[in-house]
């Protein structure tokens, strides 16, 4: 399963550029470009790799992995003309259900599942990022019982508490939690998702209270103050920046959150979310 996941990410990673902007409007650029032009031979090699010997707790056996990779290799080969769309669709759903069942069994309520150790990890404040992120997929795939269970979980999330820290990354929180909630609403029409998204975004809005409107990278959700664990100029690493201009943000992150916040204004009729992301530096 991890092989297929890795390949999916690699196939999408052609060119990536990071533009860094100071909150006060000053600019610097750091560009990183990567090419993932994998050849068929390279893909064949990756697919053929066995499970490493040092992973005794794999949830599947080597035989299972070999059978699965060979089956998916045939299904998704670019030159395969014999497999129907329904068969491909089933293969994708089977892969999702396999991963989802592992998460439910071993990590329900945590942000992430560790498939090798069957452990958990909370990298997104411990609010159950996997559950929120998977809502739209559950609905699209017709997994209605699981969608209902996930909906009940989401309705009870307390954004004011965290198992990890009250410092949140604005971009990550918006794309995973807010994006997941609004997608679930658009598919199901259940207003609980809008209520939960609105509650969370209201807590994030202080991040946009900057001279340019470019949001802080990270804030303390309980106070709205910028976090020194966000991006700051190197001379302040390990200490509190002295001035707002010493905080920096990534422009791609500031730009992409417009999608979710503008959609929230569309749904609620409240313009404040749209105004928050109408960056003043335009």
The residues, ordered by sequence, that sit 6+ positions from 101 with a Cβ below 8 Å of its Cβ are: none
Between 160 and 199, residue with greater pLDDT: 199
Please, what is the average pLDDT of the chain? 76
The residues, ordered by sequence, that sit 6+ positions from 153 with a Cβ below 8 Å of its Cβ are: 109, 128, 131
Of these ranges, 8-12, 72-76, 118-122, 131-135, the one predicted with the greatest mean pLDDT is: 131-135
* % of the chain residues with pLDDT over 70: 61
Relative orientation angle of helices 62-76 and 2-12, to the nearest 10 degrees: 40
Residue 142's pLDDT band (boundaries 50, 70, 90)? very high
Residue 10's pLDDT band (boundaries 50, 70, 90)? very low
Nearest 5°: CA angle at 269, between 265 and 272? Answer: 50
- Has residue 60 got a pLDDT over 60? no
Alpha helix locations (H) across the chain? 2-12, 40-47, 62-76, 85-107, 129-140, 144-155, 170-173, 179-188, 191-204, 251-268, 272-276
Q: What is the DSSP string of 127-144?
A: S-HHHHHHHHHHHHTT-H
pTM of the full structure:
0.70
Residue 138's pLDDT band (boundaries 50, 70, 90)? very high
pLDDT of residue 58: 43
Coil, helix or strand for 247? strand
**Mind listing the pLDDT tens digit for each residue in 14-26?**
233 334 445 554 4
Domains of the chain, start order: 2-276 (1.50.10.10)
- Has residue 267 got a pLDDT over 50? yes
Q: Which two tokens stand for residue 10?
A: 């690699």
pLDDT of residue 43: 54
């Amino acid at each position: 399963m991890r092989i297929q996941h890795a390949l999916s990410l690699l196939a999408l990673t052609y060119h990536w550029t990071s533009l860094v902007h100071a909150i006060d409007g000053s600019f610097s650029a750091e560009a990183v470009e990567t090419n993932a032009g994998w050849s068929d031979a390279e893909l064949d090699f990756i697919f053929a790799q066995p499970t490493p010997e040092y992973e005794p707790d794999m949830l599947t056996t080597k035989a299972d992995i070999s059978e699965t990779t060979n089956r998916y290799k045939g299904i998704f080969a670019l030159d395969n003309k014999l497999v129907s769309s329904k068969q491909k669709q089933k293969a994708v759903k089977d892969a999702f259900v396999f991963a989802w069942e592992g998460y439910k069994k071993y990590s329900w309520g945590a942000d992430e599942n560790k498939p090798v150790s069957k452990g958990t990890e909370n990298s997104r404040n411990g609010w159950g990022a996997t559950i929120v992120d998977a809502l739209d997929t559950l609905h699209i795939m017709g997994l209605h019982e699981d969608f209902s269970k996930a909906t009940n979980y989401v309705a009870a999330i307390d954004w004011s508490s965290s198992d990890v820290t009250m410092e949140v990354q604005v971009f990550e929180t918006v794309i995973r939690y807010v994006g997941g909630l609004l997608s679930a609403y658009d598919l199901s029409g259940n207003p609980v998702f809008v209520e939960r998204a609105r509650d969370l975004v209201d807590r994030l809005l202080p991040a946009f209270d900057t001279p340019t409107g470019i949001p802080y990278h990270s804030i303390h959700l309980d106070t709205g103050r910028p976090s020194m664990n966000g991006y700051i100029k190197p001379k302040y690493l390990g200490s509190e920046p002295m001035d707002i201009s010493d905080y920096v943000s990534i422009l791609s992150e500031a730009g992409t959150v417009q999608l979710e916040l503008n959609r929230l204004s569309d749904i609620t009729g409240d313009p404040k979310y749209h105004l928050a992301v109408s960056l003043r530096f335009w």
